[in-house]
Structure 1
Amino acid sequence: MTKVELYKSRVFVTIIHLCALGQFAYGLYYSNFEIQRSYKLKTSLHRRLVPETLPQKIRFLAYWSLIIQALYYIVSLANDFVGTNELTPKRPPAIRRFKDWLLATLAFPVALNVGVTFWTLYAIDRELVFPKILDPVFPSWLNHVLHTNIVVFIVLELFTSYRAYPKRSTGLTGLAIFMGSYLIWIHIVKHYSGVWVYPVLEVLQLPQRILFFAAVLGFTFSLYVLGEFLNNIVWAKEVKLAKRKSN
């Protein structure tokens, strides 16, 4: 079965969206309601290192990414039932246009940013992002939902569902607003708490932190371009057809 045939299979696409939404929604539920009830966490001397309240969780980009993924698959399921999965509809409904914009601008680049950055730093020195003392109190499956599965499912989505990318300037502007807001947010948290959200920032001097933030932004923007490039390669025929219809 080719990618186009998979795409045209409403059942297949809907199952993928249901599986993705199910685990991301459960991840959000568990991190908000169940992890606090864990006996291991309640009796651990290191429970202060595990974010328990919503204000603590929203300090982390991984948590924002999980929310974005859950939102994307909610929108995708709504599009499956009340929108359209046609490759190049003449008049795509608003839900389809929003779905396409959300994947291109936020869901794909932010997910890959979180996954690649986390596991790269983890491989260099895991104490900078996920200290060993968290292993007994933070479920490994939830760690993978936050940092692994978001990448797996969004890449799978890229290869099984065609989307019309927005103008690059529009997409990058939306991504820049989101990432800029997040960087401002973690500086606000540092100002009031006196502690950086990520341990890696504690070991960097000011010039190094500036370079680090610039590298993160540059990397994230490059992931947007990568998503657009892969979409144009995987769905080359559909992209050409869409361009003809718009002319």
Structure 2
Amino acid sequence: MEISTLTAYHCLAFVWYFFVIYSITCLRTEERPSEVFLYGGQWKYLTVLNLFVSISFWTLYTYNRELVYPKRLDGVIPLWLNHAMHTAILPVALLEILATPHRYPAKKKGLILLGCAAFLYISWVLWIHFVTGEWVYPLFASFSPAGLGAFFIGNFAIIVCFYNFGEFLNRMIWGDSIVILDYKQKSK
């Protein structure tokens, strides 16, 4: 993709992300259920911290929406914003894979960084539960401590699979382009 088109795409994606985050902060809090957005505000939700959660959100939503997005939120979060956070981001992510080659770090380093990010988010979720006695996602209340640990480990395994799949797609689509980019940078 041409540099100017790629730059325009990335600027558009950034503006979209900023607009979604801004829209979340402008929600009328007087209409929210009492426990929504208290401790940690909207920053306790993975969707706000990282919009690429489309598949896990809609899978759980389809199974039992009350586990991730209780019906009482429909009066607080407009339908368009729900889809902006949980649907529109999947095509944006796929377009990113098609638009530009990405250089993944060494497998070990990439997985360590991914594990650190997952650990930090899980720590944040557990901290919120410790402070408030409420779970960020109602789904977590249905697990025993061992079950919750197994759930987190299982989700990390899924994240690792998506990471590897993204790396595979990148290699399949762009092939040697990644090596060429490295070579051009080294020659400068």
Displacement after TM superposition at 1:243 (Å): 7.5
Displacement after TM superposition at 1:10 (Å): 2.4
Displacement after TM superposition at 1:11 (Å): 3.0
Give the structure 1 partner of residue 44 of structure 2: 59
Give the structure 2 partner of residue 17 of structure 1: 10
Give the structure 2 partner of residue 211 of structure 1: 150
The superposition leaves residues 89-140 of structure 1 with CA deviations (integer Å, 9 ceiling, x where unpaired) of xxxxxxxxxxxxxxxxxxxxxx2xx211111000101111111222122111
Find the aligned partners of 2:57 and 2:164 in 1 and give their Cα distance.
20
Q: Percent identity?
A: 29
Find the aligned partners of 2:8 and 2:183 in 1 and give their Cα distance.
31
Deviating more after overlay: 190-199 vs 237-246:
237-246
Q: Secondary structure at the match of 1:135?
A: helix
Displacement after TM superposition at 1:18 (Å): 2.4
Displacement after TM superposition at 1:169 (Å): 1.1
Amino acid at match of 2:63: I
Give the structure 2 partner of residue 70 of structure 1: none
Q: Determine if contact 1:31/1:52 at 8 Å carries over to the other structure.
A: no
Count of aligned pairs between the two proteins? 185
Normalised by the size of structure 2, how large is the TM-score?
Answer: 0.88
Give the structure 2 partner of residue 35 of structure 1: 27
Find the aligned partners of 1:176 and 1:57 in 2 and give their Cα distance.
23
Cα RMSD, aligned residues only: 2.1
The answer to whether residue 114 in structure 2 is matched with residue 128 in structure 1 is no
CA 1:29 to 1:173, structure 2 compared with 1: closer, same or farther past 3 Å? same
Find the aligned partners of 2:49 and 2:179 in 1 and give their Cα distance.
34
Q: Which runs of 4+ in 1 moved over 6 A?
A: 243-246
Displacement after TM superposition at 1:242 (Å): 5.4
Q: Determine if contact 1:13/1:160 at 8 Å carries over to the other structure.
A: yes
Amino acid at match of 1:61: L
The superposition leaves residues 136-187 of structure 1 with CA deviations (integer Å, 9 ceiling, x where unpaired) of 2211121122222222212111111112221111111111111111111111
Unaligned runs of 5+ in 1: 1-6, 67-110
Deviating more after overlay: 154-163 vs 132-141:
132-141
Normalised by the size of structure 1, how large is the TM-score?
Answer: 0.68
Amino acid at match of 1:22: V
CA 1:188 to 1:52, structure 2 compared with 1: closer, same or farther past 3 Å? closer
